[in-house]
Amino acid sequence: EPEVTQTPSHQVTQMGQEVILRCVPISNHLYFYWYRQILGQKVEFLVSFYNNEISEKSEIFDDQFSVERPDGSNFTLKIRSTKLEDSAMYFCASNSGVWPQHFGDGTRLSIL
């Protein structure tokens, strides 16, 4: 069964550094999403992306965040200047335009 794949599985970064999280959505999917889950808390929506532009974003997705589809297969989330509170699991999801969204196994981001 096709899967959403995310790399790396664990990223450790110094506070203030830039980090890029990578995702390869399911190949025929057109809609892409990022969510985050702070340890012990609920999964929170960050942003959705379609047709090479952001279609919706949450309050969490401020100017420090950006997303990009640099080629035909990858979908990335960049955090420009990381803060301690950015430490979380970051999940990528995709779908074909109909529900449900399919999730990857996440990247654990640890900010030191």
Partner 1 sequence: GESVGLHLPTLSVQEGDNSIINCAYSNSASDYFIWYKQESGKGPQFIIDIRSNMDKRQGQRVTVLLNKTVKHLSLQIAATQPGDSAVYFCAVAGGGADGLTFGKGTHLIIQP
- Interface contacts to partner 1, rule CB under 8 A: 4, 6, 31, 33, 35, 41-48, 55-56, 58, 91, 99-106
Task: For the CB of residue 6, give the shortest distance to partner 1 in the complex, in Å.
Answer: 8
**Of 15 and 38, CB closest to partner 1:** 38
Burial 82-107 (b: 16+ CB within 10 A, else e): beeebbbbbbbbbbeeeeebbbbebb
Query: Considering beta carbons, is residue 18 or 105 the nearer one to partner 1?
Result: 105
CB of 33: closest distance to partner 1 in angstroms?
A: 7
Smallest separation (angstroms) from partner 1 to the CB of 102: 7
For partner 1, the closer CB: 6 or 82: 6
Backbone angles phi, psi at 45, to 5 degrees: -70, 135
Burial of 76 (0-12, 13-18, 19+ CB in 10 A): middle
